[in-house]
Chains A and B, each alone.
Chain A
Amino acid sequence: MSRLLAVTKVEIKLFFRNFYSVFFGFVFPVGMLLLFGSIYGNEPSEFMNGYGSMDYSVPAYSCMVLAVTGLMSLPLTIADYRDRKILKRLMASPVHPSQLLMSQLIVNLLMTMVGIFLLIFLGVVLYNVKFMGSLLPMLLAFLLTTLSIFSIGLLIAGLMPNGKAVNLVSYLIYFPMLFLSGATFPMQMLPDSVQTVAKFLPLTYGVRLMQGVWLGNDLSGYGLEIIVLVGILVVCSSLALSLFKWE
């Protein structure tokens, strides 16, 4: 346990020393919040079913954060550690390299929470964003969405032969999800054809679930979203664990 703590402490520092993780995980979502917040404000509108634009956007931008940590930071770091034989070096020590993967999961989960708190804090302070749900369902929705997206990242890292392939696949999955799932632009703004594509993106279901629970809807109204996310989590993580390439 103390080993995991020591490794995790260092990995947190390394997260902050990685420009891309910090930029896309913290700076970019906050930038979007400020940009669209200053354009639309948070006045209740009919177009938004009586909610303010930012009430909708904060949970959506939260999905932006977890997409960065889960689909970029997590798989790219793991691939780098495998390519550069950092994992292999740990195999020649009393700990198993799975400890390093575990600490990567913890770090990215923590950093996701930091990024989301930052969004909520700024949303509340600047635009008077309201949280209309309750804490436990929100936490469940957050954990399910995050772990589900993380399991996709883990599977990419586990299956691809090297860092270049992981890079390519991560970008190919991350960018469409970022822009077409409703995380960046509200689904209502997107044309029908894109909305059809969005149905095949796992993050779409995360955005819907997070937004719904944030706005105070009951979890029971999101059966489809929960089934899709749990399904992805179970399939991807069991595949990743059984097929993971350590070298």
Chain B
Amino acid sequence: MKVIKVSSLVKNYGNTKAVRDISFSVSKGEIFGIVGPNGAGKTTTIECMIGLKKPSSGSITVLEINPSKQRSDLFERIGVQLQEASYQNKIKVWELCQMYSSIYKNPIDYEVLLEKLDIADKRNSYYGNLSGGQKQKISILLALLHNPEIVFLDELTTGLDPKSRRTMWEYIKKLKADGRTVILTTHYMEEAEQLCDELCIVDQGKIVAIGSVAEVIDSCSLDIVTSFNSENEDLETLISSVDHVKGVERLNGTYNVYCSNERAISLIICLMEERKVSYTNLNITRPTLEDAYIKLTGNVIKEDGNV
């Protein structure tokens, strides 16, 4: 069942075309990623989906609601974490939870959520004194207070240290396990690969690839790299003759073999066993989402999300 449908979404700011014709749909219970560098149109897309921005053209339905028309109905059913949004510095965590609980018709007990997110020990701390990771936990908590069916997370892990980022991944997986649909944006390819059931890669306001992680990687027909060390200096011709091998190179005693199909790997190994060629440090590197992204856009995204 599709819970979100976005078709031909276009959003212009004056002469700037932030989103140019984006379409996708999201099934109930999946984690859907909108992946790309800063300025690709991720946040604009999400803000159109939750009705904070009005699309220039195109249509969006979320839980069969038109987000720009039935705001308060929608926000009773979806939870939102906004990029860079924050709360009053001098407000205590429990006061913030209580205030946000009062906003919703049927809030769940925030004490339970504080426990679930391992942040109950901070309930009397000022929001402004929390670490980046703790602040993001609070933003997840406030997005879950009304037990929403869909959770939108915009750049949840940006700026967090690797350990906190991994903690967030666990919470996102739990959201899915609870039966919620999750829409997230990220510029971390590793994060998208770890979490997303379906994703679209956006670049300059357009979708350049869409599907499951495996489908997106497969669509790029990238090579699998098999490497090993061997004293034997003339394996290049032998290995090149194997089916699906596209290239072989030898650097300082290490062979790198580029294969278009993983069946080539077992053929190579069999061949070397047959010829009694000794090899060590056998290593198979499959293409990652990052490789796919680079192939698709010709760009590399830096840690800060810029290209």
Binding site for B on A (CB under 8 A): 2-3, 6-7, 10, 13-14, 17-18, 81, 84-86, 88-89, 91-95
Contact = CB atoms under 8 A, between A and B. Distances in A.
A89 B88 contact: no
A89 B104 contact: no
Nearest to A83: B86
21 contacts: A2-B102, A3-B103, A7-B99, A7-B102, A10-B88, A10-B91, A14-B88, A14-B91, A81-B88, A85-B84, A85-B86, A86-B85, A88-B82, A92-B80, A92-B85, A93-B100, A93-B104, A94-B76, A94-B103, A94-B105, A95-B103
B235 to A, nearest CB: 59
Interface in B183-231: none
A41 B95 CA distance: 45
Contacts of A91: 52
B90 interface: yes
- A-B complex: 3 closest residue pairs judged by Cβ atoms: A6-B102, A89-B85, A94-B72
A207 B271 CA distance: 98
Contacts of A94: 71-72, 75-76, 103-105
B50 interface: yes
A92 B86 contact: no
Interface string B63-92: 000000001100110001010111110110
B23 interface: no
Given A84-B86, A92-B50, 8 more contacts: A10-B88, A13-B91, A13-B95, A86-B85, A89-B87, A94-B76, A94-B104, A95-B103
B82 A92 contact: yes
Contacts of B86: 84-86, 89
A98 B12 CA distance: 26
A74 to B, nearest CB: 15
B98 interface: yes
Nearest to B95: A10
Contacts of B85: 84-86, 88-89, 92
Contacts of B72: 94-95
Contacts of A81: 88
A3 B102 contact: yes
B132 to A, nearest CB: 15
Contacts of B104: 93-94
A3 B105 CA distance: 10
Contact of A85 (B50, B82, B95, B98): B82
B94 to A, nearest CB: 11
Given A92-B50, A94-B75, A17 B90 contact: yes
B87 A86 contact: yes
A88 B99 CA distance: 16
B108 to A, nearest CB: 15
Contacts of A89: 82, 85-87
Most chain-A CB neighbours within 10 Å: which of B75, B80, B84, B102? B102
A6 B99 contact: yes
B22 to A, nearest CB: 20
Most chain-B CB neighbours within 10 Å: which of A10, A81, A92? A92
A89 B143 CA distance: 10
B76 A10 contact: no
Given A89-B82, A89-B85, A10 B100 contact: no
Nearest to B78: A92
A85 B80 CA distance: 13
A6 B145 CA distance: 16
Interface string B99-134: 110111100000000000000000000000000000
A97 to B, nearest CB: 11
Contacts of A13: 91, 95
A167 to B, nearest CB: 16
Nearest to A88: B85
B82 to A, nearest CB: 6
Interface in B122-175: none
A81 B85 CA distance: 10
